[in-house]
């Protein structure tokens, strides 16, 4: 948790500096510099993470009342299912995405 707080602090600091200088923050360059080249990915990966993070934060805040737990997710899915029956086919893309992401996480450890 300390590293996450430290990284958030550093990113926030650089965003403030870039905003004052009217520049756009270059996440890729910063990540590669901060992790001394140990992380290698492009802008598409950063954009995917950015979108996922936005969606997750919205889900966490709205669907789970700012506290994600298995129970909160179950309750939310049950409520959705009562409104309109959910079909597995509608979620296969996301299930495959999460499964693929988990496989990549295992390979990079």
Cα separation, 41 vs 49, in Å, equals 11
What range does the domain containing 29 cover? 1-40
Q: What is the pLDDT of residue 107?
A: 54
Q: Are residues 7 and 35 in the same domain?
A: yes
Tokens of 55: 């969606």
Say yes or no: 14 and 51 in one domain. Answer: no
Length of the chain: 109
Residue 62 DSSP class: I
| pTM score | 0.48
> How many angstroms separate the CA atoms of 100 and 108, rounded?
12
For residue 9, name the pLDDT band (cuts at 50, 70, 90).
low
pLDDT tens per residue across span 36-78: 777 777 777 778 888 888 888 888 888 888 888 888 888 988 8
């Amino acid at each position: 948790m300390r590293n996450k707080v430290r990284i958030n602090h550093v990113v926030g600091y650089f965003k403030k500096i870039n905003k004052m200088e009217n520049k756009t923050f270059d996440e890729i360059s910063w990540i590669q510099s901060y992790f001394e080249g140990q992380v290698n990915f492009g802008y598409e990966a950063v954009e995917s993470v950015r979108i996922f993070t936005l969606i997750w934060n919205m889900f966490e805040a709205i669907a789970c009342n700012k506290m994600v737990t298995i129970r909160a997710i179950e309750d939310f899915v049950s409520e959705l299912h009562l409104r309109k029956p959910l079909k597995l086919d509608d979620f296969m893309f996301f299930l495959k995405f999460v499964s693929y992401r988990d496989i990549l996480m295992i390979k990079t450890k």
